[in-house]
Amino acid sequence: MPAISTGATQDLQAAVSWQRPRALDIEDLCKLGPPPEDKVDISRQKTEGKLLVDGYQVFTQGVFPLLQSAQKSIYISIYQFRAGLVGDDLVSLLTQKARQGIQVRILLDWEGSRQFLWNRSHELTQQLEQIPNIKILRSGAWDSITAKNKIHHKMIVVDGKEAVLGSTNLKNESLQHIHDIMVKIKGPAVQEIEQAFQRSWHSFAGDDDCFPERPVTNDDSSELLDASAQEIQVVQSMGTGDTTVIQTGRKLLENARRSILLEAAYLTDPSVQQQLLQHARRGISVSIIVPSISDYYDIPSTATANFLDKLVLAGGHIYKHPGRIHGKALLIDDSILYTGSADYLGVPMQDLNLLIRDPGIIADFRQNLFERDMSRSTEHTIQEANQRTRLEKARSNLWARFFRWIAS
Query: In terms of Cα–Cα distance, which of 232, 201, 179, 228 is closest to 355?
Result: 232
Are 52 and 64 a contacting pair, CB within 8 Å?
A: no
Query: In terms of Cα–Cα distance, which of 179, 175, 182 is closest to 5?
Result: 175
Structural domain spans, the chain: 47-205, 221-407
Strands (E) located in 67-133: 73-78, 103-108
pLDDT at 230: 75
Per-residue b or e along 114-133, where b marks 16 or more CB atoms closer than 10 Å to that residue's CB: bbeeeeebbebbeebeebbb
pLDDT at 206: 59
> How far is the C-alpha of 100 from the C-alpha of 120, rounded, in Å?
26
What single letter denotes the amino acid at residue 227?
A
Query: In terms of Cα–Cα distance, which of 242, 292, 296, 252 is closest to 272?
Result: 252
CATH 3.30.870.10, domain 47-205, yes or no: yes
| DSSP, residue by residue, 260-310 | EEEEES-B--HHHHHHHHHHHHTT-EEEEEEESS-TGGGHHHHHHHHHHHH
CATH 3.30.870.10, domain 221-407, yes or no: yes
How far, rounded to the nearest angstrom, does the alpha carbon of residue 2 sit from its chain's CA centroid?
25
Report the half-sphere exposure of 372 (CA within 13 A, side-chain side): 11
pLDDT at 381: 94
Task: Kindly list the distances between the CA atom of residue 257 and the CA atoms of 251, 272, 339, in Å, as whole numbers in the listed order.
Answer: 12, 16, 19
pLDDT at 2: 41
Cβ neighbours, 10 Å, residue 12: 20
> How far is the C-alpha of 230 from the C-alpha of 214, rounded, in Å?
23
Integer-rounded Cα radius of gyration of the chain: 21
Cβ neighbours, 10 Å, residue 188: 16
**Which residues, 6+ apart, have CB-to-CB distance to 134 below 8 Å?**
94, 95, 98, 104, 105, 106, 128
pLDDT at 168: 95
**Which residues, 6+ apart, have CB-to-CB distance to 7 below 8 Å?**
none
Q: What is the mean pLDDT of each run of 10 residues along the chain (408 residues)?
A: 45 44 31 40 69 93 95 95 89 95 93 72 86 89 74 95 96 88 94 93 72 55 58 90 92 96 95 96 96 82 93 96 94 97 92 95 96 96 93 94 86
**Which residues, 6+ apart, have CB-to-CB distance to 225 below 8 Å?**
248, 251, 252, 255, 355
Angle at 153 between CA 39 and CA 170, to 5 degrees: 95
> How far is the C-alpha of 346 from the C-alpha of 44, rounded, in Å?
37
How far, rounded to the nearest angstrom, does the alpha carbon of residue 28 sit from its chain's CA centroid?
30
pLDDT at 3: 43
Query: Does this chain's domain 47-205 share its CATH topology with 221-407?
Result: yes
What single letter denotes the amino acid at residue 39?
K
**The model's pTM:** 0.86
277: β partners = none
